[in-house]
Amino acid sequence: MRRPSRVFTDTSDFTAIDYGDIIAVDGRYFLVIAYTREGRFGVDEQIKPWVPRVENLATGETKIIKLVFHETFDITLGSFTIPCYRSPEKEARVLELVQGHPHFMQGETVPDEVGNPVRIIDIVNGSRLDKVIHRNGTTHHDYFTRQLPPILEQFLECLQAISFLHAHGFRHGDIRRDHIFVERETGLFKWIDFDYDFYLPEKPFALDLFELGNILIYLSARGNYYPRDIMNDPDMGPEVLETIVPGDVSLLSKNRIVNLKKLFPVIPNQLNNIFLHFSQGTEVFYETVDELHDDLKAVLPLLGTAQKT
């Protein structure tokens, strides 16, 4: 027998809220119909009980609601140990800042009856970028020369969007390849999920920058490459693996190869030099997103794509 729905005006204990329950905020009633999922720390598709998918009972619209959830963890970047933490308040401020911006998810924040910032998010109808690039089973050469150039043109706009955040004193905080969605109707790339932040006063935007580098490298290789992947690839194998030295791997993601020129000769040296800014062997780091943006924009003609003005 199905239990009756419960109405929650205080969302502090999100674990108590279940399918069929109702979240009541700002005079609106939202029926919980599902929960979002996300992979993290090597675990695929974990349910996020603090992020239910809901239906507005007055309008029938489907939304995503993000409830308050705090967690902390550390990330190592070279010699730095970076405390990272979830900040619903920061995400609320970012949502307000990016209202109407075409390259960010949209939403609003309203308090529940005890003041918790409940974020009501518009669903981006589309697919994750890291899924989109794998839809066509072409060779890497064809992907790199034909499909990647327009993808990188859009990625330039994603870089400008993050630069916009930084110019206003905000970090995205959780830049990952699955946090760019490709909107189905427009083809626009949109950043989602801004609730993480990190503390690194010496280099306040460094983690965002390195994660942007991770995405660029992933897009260019159409995947991540570790020593085992090179060894198991019939086009690479031991001969290529033997050329890899410690300076060829990522400073942020240990054992991930960033010197992609050794794996894919089609990659221009100028683009590979961008990748090497994120390697253990680098002595020169990007200080701003604009520097990365400008270097990538200068390289795009080498991939055979027309530039946007």
H/E stretch holding 149: helix 148-167
Rounded CA-CA distance 11/230 in Å is 48
pLDDT of 3 reads 79
Rounded CA-CA distance 285/298 in Å is 18
**Could you give all domains of the chain from N- to C-terminal order, each with its CATH number?**
1-67 (2.30.30), 126-303 (1.10.510.10)
- Give the percent of the chain with pLDDT over 90: 88
Write the pLDDT tens digit of every residue in 277-308. 999 999 999 999 999 999 999 999 998 643 33
Among candidate residues 105, 114, 93, 121, the one with its CA nearest the CA of residue 24: 114
Rounded CA-CA distance 76/86 in Å is 17
Are 259 and 275 spatial neighbours (Cβ–Cβ below 8 Å)?
yes
- Answer yes or no: is pLDDT of 258 > 50: yes
Rounded CA-CA distance 151/181 in Å is 12
- Answer yes or no: is pLDDT of 123 > 90: yes
124, two tokens: 């981006």
- Answer yes or no: is pLDDT of 41 > 70: no
Among candidate residues 177, 175, 249, the one with its CA nearest the CA of residue 206: 175
Rounded CA-CA distance 215/250 in Å is 12
Categorise residue 45: left if φ over 0, alpha if ψ from -120 to 50, beta otherwise: left
Q: What is residue 40's three-state secondary structure? A: strand
